[in-house]
Amino acid sequence: MKPVAHLIIAMLLGALLATFAFAVSSGISSQQDAVKLSPQYYKVLLDNDQVRVIEYRLKPGEREVTHSHPAGVLYSLGEAKLRVTYPDGRVEDIVATGGEAHWRNPVTHALENTGNTDAHALVVEPKKNPCKQ
């Protein structure tokens, strides 16, 4: 192969890797963003260059499509029973307890409210690492 062809292939590969790295470092892609996929369940309360704060409600019997969340804090405002389905097919039944805050690592899942009460929570998604500013 000619040196020019090597250079072109290297540049294309570099651009592909840079695009992937940017997508990973910037969090969840807009194609999987829960707020964009299911705006009927999510209300953005604050969105700036530091943080996004979201109110979440899922009524009994309602089901969300598969979506993703970046890392952040989840604060449950009431008790709810939920069925979580992951992309690999694994299913988990959970009970959210009101007044509890949890750190959530990045996740892709679908949710169904299997209980008799609304699932109601606040989600806080930091956008930057304050130690790196």
Task: Write down the domain spans for the chain.
Answer: 1-28, 31-132
Residue with tokens 């910037």: 26
User: CATH for 31-132?
Assistant: 2.60.120.10
Q: Which residues of 72-99 are buried (b: 16+ CB within 10 A; e: fewer)?
A: bbbbbbebbbbbebeeeeeeeeeebeee
pLDDT band of 5, cuts 50, 70, 90: very low
Give, for 22, the enclosing helix (H) or strand (E): helix 3-25
pLDDT in tens, 15-45: 333 333 333 334 455 568 999 999 999 999 9
Total-model pTM: 0.72
pLDDT tens per residue, range 41-97: 999 999 999 999 999 999 999 999 999 999 999 999 999 999 999 999 999 999 999
Neighbour order of strands in the sheet with 80-85: 67-69, 107-113, 80-85, 91-96
